[in-house]
Amino acid sequence: MPGQIERLCIERGLRMTGQRRVVARVLSEANDHPDAEDVYRRASKLEPKISIATVYRTLRIFEEAGILQRLEFGDGRARFERTESEHHDHLIDTSSGKVIEFQNAQLEELQEQIARDLGYRLVGHRMDLYGVPLGQAAPAKDEE
């Protein structure tokens, strides 16, 4: 049975090769925000003949088709998540790299209010928060 990513690919008319199906499966099963290297490692366990170039090319095709969203969190790694209709923001743990998705109605209303106060109607936004666990020191400026 095809996963969510593969179904979206088929709906959008993408040709689904065996290797694209493997990448789609890896992404459908991901509970994190993998980068290309993560996707490659996971895909190569399912299909040892897959190349890193194929993974990069497939990620680009899925992104161009609006199936994936590329996320840049300032660590030099492009990460990917499914393009979803439900909005969410991200909190990035700078000590581990873990990405936590969250929703907050008060924050959403505040952003709408700020836009209105500045004379705008908000049509979209993206918010990424960066932090370290409570009780852990933040990295020094020269370590960032």
All structural domains of the chain with their residue ranges? 4-82, 89-135
Q: Mind listing the pLDDT tens digit for each residue in 81-129?
A: 888 757 888 898 988 888 888 889 999 999 999 999 999 998 888 888 9
Please tell me the distance from the alpha carbon of residue 72 to that of residue 74, in angstroms, as a whole number.
6
Fold: same for 4-82 and 89-135: no
- The amino acid present at 5, given as its one-letter code, is I
Confidence check: pLDDT of 143 > 60: no
Question: What's the pLDDT score for residue 20?
Answer: 95
Q: Mind listing the pLDDT tens digit for each residue in 45-85?
A: 999 999 999 999 999 999 999 999 898 887 788 889 888 75
Please tell me the distance from the alpha carbon of residue 76 to that of residue 52, in angstroms, as a whole number.
18
**Which superfamily is assigned to 89-135 in CATH?**
Ferric-uptake regulator, C-terminal dimerisarion domain (3.30.1490.190)
CATH fit for domain 4-82, picks 1.10.10.10, 3.10.20.600, 3.50.50.60, 1.10.3720.10: 1.10.10.10
Please tell me the distance from the alpha carbon of residue 128 to that of residue 79, in angstroms, as a whole number.
13
Which residues make beta-bridge pairs with 35? 79
Helical ranges in the chain per DSSP H: 4-11, 18-29, 36-46, 52-64, 105-117
